[in-house]
């Protein structure tokens, strides 16, 4: 922690920043997700189409939202590549491939033969879920939604907005934009994190 963060902790009342002292939960890595059979199969199909799997979200009764990005070029990270976006043709082409795949293989994954499939880019304000996502977003403005409201810069808040300064194995540090104080948070105290790009 930085000196500013320690000062914030020491000035808070008892219990106000307990979420900073609880046991830390490890965030899953993309490498670990690749051990999942469904993820591995979809990542392989996306790769064949010149795309990289960013995330999978189930919805409804057996529906899947598939988020993809262009394959990383030399020197690009998982998240800088995501900013380049993909075309509608990319999404349509991959969706057709996935429909053929699930027609034959859906039963292996407990899905209907014709699941509802949505394919898109993760977008500019993409969600950060895996360690590689956080590492690739260092230096960008993020919006962190806490699992429970906590005292941040002497005010009770449910969200923290600012520049992502660090992404460690056990949590993240955000330079809170209003107080200009580094706020360190373990992953398990966070409900969700998204890039919060400000259009000018």
pTM, two decimal places = 0.75
User: Largest Cα–Cα distance in the chain?
Assistant: 60
Q: pLDDT band at residue 33, thresholds of 50, 70 and 90? A: confident
Q: Which segments within 60-120 are labelled E, that is strand?
A: 63-70, 117-120
Give per-residue pLDDT as tens, 113-163: 889 999 999 999 999 999 999 999 999 999 999 988 877 767 788 999 999
Of 116, 82, 90, nearest to 102 by C-alpha is 116
Residue 47: pLDDT above 80?
yes
Q: Are strands 141-152 and 51-59 parallel, antiparallel or unpaired?
A: unpaired
Fold observed for domain 30-120: GMP Synthetase; Chain A, domain 3 (3.30.300)
Q: For 40-60, b where at least 16 C-beta lie within 10 A, e where not — what string?
A: ebbbebbeebebbbbbbeeee
Q: Which CATH number fits domain 3-26+138-195: 3.40.50.720, 1.10.730.10, 2.30.30.100, 1.10.101.10?
A: 2.30.30.100
Phi, psi of 109 (to 5 degrees): -115, 15
């Amino acid at each position: 922690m930085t000196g500013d963060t320690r000062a914030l902790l020491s000035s808070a009342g008892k219990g106000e920043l307990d979420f900073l002292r609880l046991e830390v939960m490890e965030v899953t890595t993309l490498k670990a997700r690749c051990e999942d059979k469904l993820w591995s199969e979809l990542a392989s199909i996306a790769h064949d189409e010149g795309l990289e799997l960013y995330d999978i979200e189930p919805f409804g009764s057996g529906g899947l939202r598939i988020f993809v990005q262009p394959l990383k070029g030399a020197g690009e990270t998982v998240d800088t590549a995501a900013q380049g976006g993909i075309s509608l043709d990319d999404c349509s082409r991959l969706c057709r491939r996935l429909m053929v795949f699930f027609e034959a293989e859906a039963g292996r994954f407990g899905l209907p033969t014709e699941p509802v499939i949505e394919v898109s880019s993760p977008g500019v304000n993409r969600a950060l879920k895996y360690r590689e996502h956080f590492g690739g977003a260092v230096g960008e403005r993020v919006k962190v939604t806490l699992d429970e409201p906590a005292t941040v810069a002497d005010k009770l808040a449910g969200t923290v907005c600012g520049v992502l300064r660090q992404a460690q194995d056990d949590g993240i540090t955000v330079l809170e934009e209003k107080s200009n104080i580094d706020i360190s948070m373990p992953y398990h105290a966070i409900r969700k994190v998204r890039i919060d790009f400000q259009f000018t």
